[in-house]
């Protein structure tokens, strides 16, 4: 069985796969403060999360991770090595991804963006556009020639909301839910309208411009914590896939198995 870890700025997503498919019913999610976790805490958290789903840690015979927070990468590497006796594959542009990379600076592309691109290409075909709605909104494009050609990055919904509340003392904090109408009849609904409908417009405009530059139709798949909320109003998003990044990790691992091993 394969252990996959997507370590982001806010959320760590964990998946367990067999050779061909995910064996847990749902991926596991854990929120953590990056400055307050040790490798022992990470290892114990990982053990407990898997145990809560009835997945024994001894069943793991491979591991792969992507991480966008440099200070966390070594912590989770040590956790997997010490608690699972595995040396994980670490996603980078140096691996065999199964897709090409045509970028000015390939080494600058985030590991999560590469995993999303691989997952989208593998599951939805090429060309394809992947929209990840997390701490940042990443839009990634794989061409018909199976080459990652870039995309767009914007502040995420939660990031914008936190900035709004931190700089406007009288505005209340609100849940990121769809308001009843665009014209908010109270402050809460007005904020929800600006964030939900405003960000839907942002994503749709970027995707429309990207598709115009591609010069062809392409499936658009969304993932991330706020994917469902925005996708329900979007004119461009055709599917929501919460496990897209983990699926990309599974595919990448399959192409790079020889890069992992048991820790002696």
List residues with catalytic annotation.
Answer: 112
3 state SS for the chain: CEEEEEECCCEEEEEEECCCCECCCCCEEEECCHHHCCHHHHHHHHHHHHHHCCCCHHHCCEEEEEECCHHHHHHHHHHHHHHHCEECEECCCCCCCCCEECCCCHHHCCHHHHHHHHHHHHHHCCCEEEEEECCEEEEEEECCCCEEEEEEEEECHHHHHHHHHHHCCCCCCCCCCCCCCCCCCCHHHHHHHHHHHHHHHHHHHHHHHHHHHHCCCCCEEEECCCHHHHHCCCCCCCEECCCHHHHHHHHHHHHCHHHCEECC
From CA 149, how far away is CA 211, in angstroms rounded? 13
User: Residue 228: in which H helix or E strand, if any?
Assistant: helix 227-231
Q: Which of 104, 103, 42 lies closest to 69, judged by CA?
A: 42
DSSP conformational letter for 98: S
């Amino acid at each position: 069985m394969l252990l996959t870890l997507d370590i982001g700025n806010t959320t760590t997503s964990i998946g367990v796969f067999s050779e061909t498919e995910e064996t847990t019913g749902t991926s596991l999610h854990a929120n953590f403060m990056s400055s307050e976790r040790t490798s022992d805490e990470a290892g114990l958290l990982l053990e407990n999360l898997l145990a809560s789903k009835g997945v024994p840690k001894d069943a793991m015979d491979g591991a792969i991770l992507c991480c966008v927070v440099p200070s966390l990468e070594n912590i989770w590497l040590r956790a997997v090595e010490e608690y699972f006796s595995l040396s994980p594959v670490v996603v980078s542009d140096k691996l065999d991804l199964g897709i090409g990379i045509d970028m000015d600076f390939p080494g600058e592309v985030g590991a999560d963006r590469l995993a999303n691109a691989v997952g989208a290409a593998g599951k939805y075909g090429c060309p394809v556009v992947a929209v990840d709605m997390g701490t940042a909104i990443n839009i990634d494009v794989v061409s018909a020639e199976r080459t990652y050609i870039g995309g767009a990055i914007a502040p995420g919904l939660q990031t914008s909301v936190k900035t709004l509340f931190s700089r406007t003392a009288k505005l209340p904090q609100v849940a990121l839910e769809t308001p009843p109408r665009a014209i908010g009849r109270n402050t809460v609904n007005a904020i929800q309208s600006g964030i939900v409908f405003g960000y839907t417009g942002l994503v749709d405009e970027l995707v429309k411009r990207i598709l115009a530059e591609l010069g062809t139709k392409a499936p658009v798949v969304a993932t991330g914590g706020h994917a469902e909320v925005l996708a329900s109003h979007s004119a461009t998003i055709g599917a929501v896939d919460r496990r897209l990044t983990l699926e990309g990790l599974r595919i990448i691992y399959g192409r790079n198995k020889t890069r992992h091993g048991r820790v002696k």
